[in-house]
Amino acid sequence: MSDEQDPIEEAIAGMMAGAPEGLVPAPTPRPEPVRGGTQADIRARFLAMREGEVDRRAGLDYTHRRTALRRLSAAIRRYEPQIIAALAADLGKPEAEVRLTEILPVQAEISHTLKYLKRWMRPRRATSTLLTFGTRAKIVSEPKGTVLIIAPWNYPFGLLMGPLSSALAAGNAAILKPSELAPATSALVAKIITETFAPDFVWVAEGAVDVAQALLDLPFDHLFFTGSPEVGRKVMAQAARHLTPVTLELGGKSPVIIGPGADLKAAAQAVAWGKFSNAGQTCIAPDHIYVASAQMEAFLTHLKTAIRKMYGRSPEAQASGRDYARIVSERHFRRLDAMISAAEAGGATVVEGGARDAATRFIAPTVLTGVRRDAALMREEIFGPVLPVLPFEDAGAVIAAINTGPKPLALYIFEKDKGFIEEITRKTSSGAVGVNVTLAHYMHLNLPFGGIGNSGMGAAHGEWGFRAFSHEKPVLRNSFAPLSGFMPPYRGMKRRRIRLMARLLGR
């Protein structure tokens, strides 16, 4: 997410799986969801969760976890129309885009988890080594305890409920902090959770700075944060005071490389969709594009065609259509407007789009060429529907440019030549690489999703999400290990035995 965000206000701030109601008790529905409350209220709620930790650890077996996941899935299905309406109110998201990018990924995550949860929970045997001959070992996944999940405003439903499904699968209690910049979604999430789970099991803390700070002052057993690298550093510093482990899903300037042998029409379609979905407010959206110089003009033609086909042939059609979202806030609109204006003042040319309407926070899908390397569009994460396109002659120069900046969350390559693809993949570092595709790796639940360096820490989705919220506890049992032969006093045979073992292992 954009480094221009206010550090506190914004970030601190299955596929239809059926469900018997089952074993996790749901509270009596209330007409209004519980809000964040005072610092004392939040601390009391946290302590109540902590007090139930021993019982949860003993009682949240596979059946209980499965039932919790099914209840969450059923609640999402039940509230689907309201979810669509809330995201339209907060971000102007089209109905189909809400289903595709907010609801479907969560239901897919739940469905995938239900399919494999029993396998993930099963203790794993560990083979004995020479030094532990005569012992038996296993690794047991246990809940970390009470966890905090802080969601961003750009996907305020999916990026809260997705991590929650992993936390539930791992057997944890959870406090959720939705973004106050998506108030309709925040209120709806609070209502859904209040009606679905007991408040000492899953609870939503709504609010802004005071609520976020009160939460970060507590010693959670794990903290899952999605937001900008700038705010991620501050969240990590807060967590360090309690030695709370963190998963940080951040962002950065994810580049696209269009090679000389790329299918330009397919590349343009993938880039247009990946960049302009949710009006560019996506952490893994293409941030800027490098295009082989000989392909520049043809690629831009295909890109313009793809944009107009997807969103409308003119800014007026795009603004009045039903397939294009809006900028989340007036402040973010002003930030993007200033970036476009500064780039133009520096000699850049808008070759597509450029129209803006402050009253509705509309920015047309905008493509620029001739953007200076020192322009804000090239220094800062754009996080909006503005796309600089730069020509290149030599892939080595592109690799060098990527490697001089922070490691991105995603890197996209469009090319048919396997050698070109391998060179870029091998010589750069990023959270993930997409070849001839954008965004889709987020949907692949048998792949870890996460960043590296500035773009994040830890991984989520599928089994990696389960592990993020689990403690993998080793259990070692002595069967017939001659451990007394290595205990003091170290004389005679014991000294010779230890010396021999050191020689054998030091080869």
Q: Which residues are catalytic?
A: 249, 283
Q: Which residues are CB-neighbours of 169 under 8 A, at least 6 positions away?
A: 65, 69, 113, 117, 120, 465, 466, 469
Query: Which H or E element spans position 178?
Result: none
Which residues face 3 on adjacent strands?
none
CA distances from 421 to 256, 309, 428 (A): 12, 29, 11
Contact 406, 453 (CB under 8 A): yes
Which residue intervals of 241-314 are DSSP H helices?
A: 264-276, 296-311
Sign of the dihedral through C-alpha 371, 375, 376, 381 = positive
Report helix, strand or coil for 355: coil
Cis peptide before 163 (omega within 30 of 0): no
CB-based burial label for 17 (10 Å; 0-12, 13-18, 19+)? buried
Report helix, strand or coil for 258: strand
The token pair at 305 is 């065609």
Question: E strands along 67-134, which residues?
Answer: 124-126
Beta-strand pair 456-457/246-249: antiparallel
Sign of the dihedral through C-alpha 156, 162, 166, 172 = positive
Helix, strand, coil fractions of the chain, as percent rounded to 5: 50, 15, 35
Report helix, strand or coil for 20: coil
Contact 29, 362 (CB under 8 A): no
The CB-side HSE value for 141 (13 A sphere, CA atoms) comes to 24
Contact 227, 5 (CB under 8 A): yes
Which 8-state DSSP code applies to residue 99? I
* Number of residues that make up the chain: 507
The token pair at 33 is 């969801």
